[in-house]
């Protein structure tokens, strides 16, 4: 028996030669997916359109009218669309920006397969789509911790400049496999042919692991995980650069310190050990 279309991964592109009165109806007719599945894909950001003289954007409104010349991309993965994301925790609302706790499993931003499990979309929904959202920095999907989101372009630019200028201190707590040599306090190993620097303080040792506090002077992809793995001490729970197991990634962004551009005073947000431990299973 053939697998129903709604159970298969579907990736299709279309080019409209004539106007469409209802985007969802049209896609249901041309993709072999049921209308309810198309609506779900649209709601969760898995349908993108590019109208003439416009940029690509997610098409969420099922009844949208689309002009001739519109390009459509459908990325349907039933397993991904079925995921129910864990809620974000609002730490502080500064109106022009906000501070959140991101649990493990949440992307910083979406991809072509949807954005319903992303920080940006969850923040949009928290504020009932009444505030724009701009990503300032990222956390790995499997990591957890503090993350900033801006709510206007000017604030996004200000915060981005402060990150680029290292005016915002970011601190991480990581549990690694094996006992760490406390004399090793700095890693300078290039990543992707670019300078990469990680500073380390060992704060706890056990028979088979060590707890480290880190800050990074550069922001290379998966820098902390790659650096520690290259030192022979993979982050606990890191299936990509360590050993695959059932544990979650023991990497948390625990602290943000900076001059608040809204209140004009030095501000620190820091997670407690209890907040961290409940996500390190």
Among the listed ranges 167-176, 218-227, 240-249, which one has the minimum average pLDDT value?
Answer: 240-249
User: pLDDT at residue 3 above 70?
Assistant: no
Domain boundaries, the chain: 5-81, 89-166, 169-253
pLDDT for 244: 75
Burial of 96 (C-beta count, 10 Å sphere; 0-12/13-18/19+): middle
Question: What is the CATH architecture of 89-166?
Answer: 2-Layer Sandwich (3.30)
Q: What is the pTM of this model?
A: 0.91
Write the class of the CATH domain 169-253. Answer: alpha beta
Name the average pLDDT for the chain.
95
Supply the CATH classification number for the domain 5-81. Answer: 3.10.290
pLDDT (average), residues 17-42: 96
pLDDT (average), residues 239-248: 85
Q: What is the pLDDT of residues 188-237, one digit of tens each?
A: 999 999 999 999 999 999 999 999 999 999 989 999 999 999 999 999 99
Q: What is the pLDDT of residues 72-112, one digit of tens each?
A: 999 999 999 999 999 999 999 999 999 999 999 999 999 99
């Amino acid at each position: 028996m053939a697998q129903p279309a709604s159970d298969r991964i579907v990736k299709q592109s279309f080019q409209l030669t004539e106007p469409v009165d209802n985007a969802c109806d049209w896609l249901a007719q041309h993709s072999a997916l049921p209308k309810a599945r198309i609506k779900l894909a649209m709601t969760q950001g898995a349908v993108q359109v590019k109208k003439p003289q416009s940029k690509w954007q997610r098409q969420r409104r099922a009844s949208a009218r689309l002009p001739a010349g519109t390009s459509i991309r459908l990325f349907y993965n039933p397993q991904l669309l079925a995921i129910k994301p864990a809620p974000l925790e609002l730490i502080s609302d500064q109106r022009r920006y906000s501070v959140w706790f991101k649990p493990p499993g949440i992307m910083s931003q979406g991809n072509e397969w949807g954005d319903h499990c992303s920080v940006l979309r969850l923040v949009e929904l928290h504020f009932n789509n009444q505030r724009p959202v701009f990503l300032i920095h990222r956390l790995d999907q499997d990591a957890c911790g503090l993350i900033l989101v801006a709510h206007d372009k000017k604030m996004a630019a200000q915060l981005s400049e402060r990150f680029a200028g290292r005016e915002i201190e970011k601190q991480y707590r990581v549990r690694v496999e094996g006992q760490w040599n406390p004399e090793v306090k700095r890693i300078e190993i290039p990543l992707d042919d670019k300078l990469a620097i990680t500073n380390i303080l060992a704060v706890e040792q056990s028979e088979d692991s060590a707890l480290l506090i880190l800050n990074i002077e550069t922001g290379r992809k998966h820098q902390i995980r790659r650096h520690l793995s290259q030192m022979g001490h993979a982050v606990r729970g890191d299936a990509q650069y360590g050993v695959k197991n059932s544990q979650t990634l023991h990497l948390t962004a625990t602290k943000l310190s900076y001059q608040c551009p809204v209140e004009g005073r030095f501000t620190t947000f820091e997670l407690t050990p209890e907040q961290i431990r409940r996500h390190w299973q």
